[in-house]
Amino acid sequence: MSKKQFFLGMFLASLIGGVVALAGVSFFIQPQPQSNFDEKQQTSFVNLLSDKDFTIPDGINFVASAEIVTPAVVHVNTTISYSGRQQRDPLQEFFQFPQRDGGDQGRPMPMSSGSGVIISSDGYIVTNNHVVDGATKVDISLENNKRYVAKIIGTDPSTDLALLKIEATGLPFVKFGDSDKTRVGEWVLAVGNPFNLNSTVTAGIISAKARNIGILENVENNLQVESFLQTDAVVNPGNSGGALVNLAGELIGINTAIATKTGSYSGYSFAVPSTLVKKVMDDLMMYGTVQRGLLGVNIRDISPELGEFLGKEFPVEQGVYIGGVNDNSGGKEAGLKEGDIIIGVDGRKTNSVANLQEMVARKRPGDKVEVEYIREGKTYKTTATLKNFAGDTDIVKKVIPKTFEFEGVVFEDIKDSLKEALRIQGGAVISTVSGGKWRSAGARPGFIITSIISSDGRVRVQGAEGLVEILNDLQGEEIVVLGMFQDGTEYYFEVEVD
């Protein structure tokens, strides 16, 4: 091929390429039929590049959800009862942001902060149990800077949830969504107060569901429920108890924990799903304590390791293996046996222990559940009536302790379990201290008064009512108050009784 022919070929190729490019541009700039999507979005790449208004598609617009939720997420500041060697659990280390204020006689009152979500216009607030655990005072700050003191209605360590109440009406609140309908990959927002940065909004996706991370420990009767929603929305200390919402502004979870080696966000956070939150809040509101319906079986996840341990093969790759059935339990009465594999509850698949625990934890004693299970390769269904830990179907209401007040200090009887743990015969616990000379003298919420020393000698305290009677008889005297904190640290202070 000559040089002349080569250059002529290159020219023709360039000419044809230019014609094709012009034709393509002409096609894209020709008027196209208007679709519903075009009408809804009213945007194009042209107005994006020319700095005109750009409408984000509704499906990924965070603004509307943030505007709905932010006014209903509150800052929770708690004052913790003093303990001479107070310790924090891993949740507190990760989520609470410790502060200190000046205390009397060199004894500071530990404080912590977290978040909460208003769930009704009349002031009910959901937060984490570890945010208010041991609190003697709970202060609530709204986004508009209004301040309230909250009452703790009830707590549930087994799910790390708590219900608070402030005296207000007409408050903004977040509606409950259905966490069951939340799908992996769906956009979510986390709203809270990380590092005391109020009303912070972060975005991420649901990265997993029914996640058990083994963070809830020392729960009574080992009834902890961990079936978290896992997200990659940024969550840090102070977000604890805050909202995880979908793009409709509906509550789908309460931010509770993070996976971290440093105490700060490292990529994953975990939230209690809203279906479980709603059930727990309803229980605390109606009964003051959570009603747990139990199937009464010992369970483990199906896995190759379990198969090797048992020396058997399973007919399924996912499910919940029954390692034992408790006597007088709902599972026993329904005919479940050791070796059965539970694969469904109420028509929903249960692929893991966390999933099964969450499904059952939504129920109360006396509720019936349909259990689908595999036995010897065949699939069966049975109906089980759930029971409480005592083995019956009774609803248990929380017994509210009787309190007695003297000079701004509120006392209540010490619990039998605490008496046994501290090896004492009696005493009265300081519930709250409103201030004044008792606080200045060293009285602290949580302190157990065991004896009073006066000019007449030493008198042992048997209970709260008896303590108030003793104090009434000692008016005008300066007394020595002896006792201990709930970790066993002994302490005393002097105060004059009016």
| Catalytic positions, written as ranges | 130, 160, 240
User: Maximum CA pair distance of the chain?
Assistant: 127
CB environment 196-225: b (16+ within 10 A), e (fewer): eebbbbbbbebbebbbbeebbeeeeeebbb
Tell me how far apart the alpha carbons of residues 380 and 384 are, in angstroms, rounded to a whole number: 13
Report phi then psi at 18, rounded to 5.
Answer: -65, -40
Tell me how far apart the alpha carbons of residues 101 and 108 are, in angstroms, rounded to a whole number: 6
The closest of 495, 468, 465 to 481, measured between CA atoms, is 495
Token pair listed for 434: 């409103």
Token pair listed for 47: 């107005």
Report phi then psi at 497, rounded to 5.
Answer: -90, 125
Residues in the chain: 498
Using the structure block, give the residue that is written with the tokens 């008889």.
473
The closest of 58, 61, 281, 60 to 174, measured between CA atoms, is 281
319: left (phi over 0), alpha (psi -120 to 50) or beta: left
Torsion sign (Cα): 416, 418, 421, 426: negative
CA angle 209, 210, 216 (to 5 degrees): 125
